[in-house]
Homo-oligomer: A and B are copies of this chain.
Amino acid sequence: MDIILSKGFNATGVEAILKQANVPKGSFYNFFSSKEDFGLAIIDRYSAEIDEILHPIYHDELSPPLERIKKGFETLIKRFEGNDCTKGCLIGNLSLEMSDQYENVRHRLEQSLRGWSDVLTILLHEAQKDNAIFSEVDPEILAENLISSFQGALLRSKVKKSSGPLHNFIHLYFDKFFPLR
């Protein structure tokens, strides 16, 4: 997962994976029918890791829904900063690299992004009921846009080698775009 986060899927050979994992040559195809199959497993593993980070934040009933969403993104930004603004999000990286070439991978990425969006939809709907954000737009559309814009800010931050665009994303969405003005 670490190599693919750094170099992408296509630039990572099976041999490099085996070497990093310290696993004897030849055993790869005992576990995975193809490199694509391995890609699917990596997506599942990465999604589970991120879920584990975000789940307690999103379910912290002591914090208002919008604050939970914000804290979730801030936690992911800290992770990115901990990697010196490299790597980014595996889901975002593979979305651009693999969607057009591997239909199964595209479906799995869609599933992962939709799962995230579903959780944020519920929280944004609650935020609308609390009048914490404007309510004339379907929370599902807001949730998908919020995640997309986060992925875009991550892309920009990776090129800039600075988390500035991510912090501006937080400021704009949570202080300017979403609140009732």
Contacts and interface: CB of A to CB of B under 8 A. Distances in A.
Contact of A101 (B6, B137, B141, B142): B6
Nearest to A5: B100
Interface in A48-107: 86-88, 92-93, 95-97, 99-101, 106
Contacts of A169: 145, 148
A155 B145 contact: no
Contact of A153 (B96, B101, B148, B156): B148
Contact of A145 (B141, B144, B165): B165
Interface stretch (A7-15, A22-30, A121-129): A7-15
Chain A interface mostly: helix
Interface residues of A, number: 46
Interface in A129-148: 134, 137, 141-142, 144-145, 147-148
Given A96-B97, A141-B172, A156 B165 contact: no
B100 A6 contact: yes
Interface of A: 6-8, 10-11, 86-88, 92-93, 95-97, 99-101, 106, 109-110, 113, 134, 137, 141-142, 144-145, 147-153, 155-156, 158-161, 165, 168-169, 172, 176-177, 181
Given A8-B101, A97-B97, A144-B156, 18 more contacts: A6-B101, A7-B100, A10-B11, A11-B101, A88-B96, A92-B96, A95-B156, A99-B158, A109-B159, A137-B172, A137-B176, A141-B172, A142-B172, A145-B153, A148-B149, A148-B156, A151-B152, A152-B153
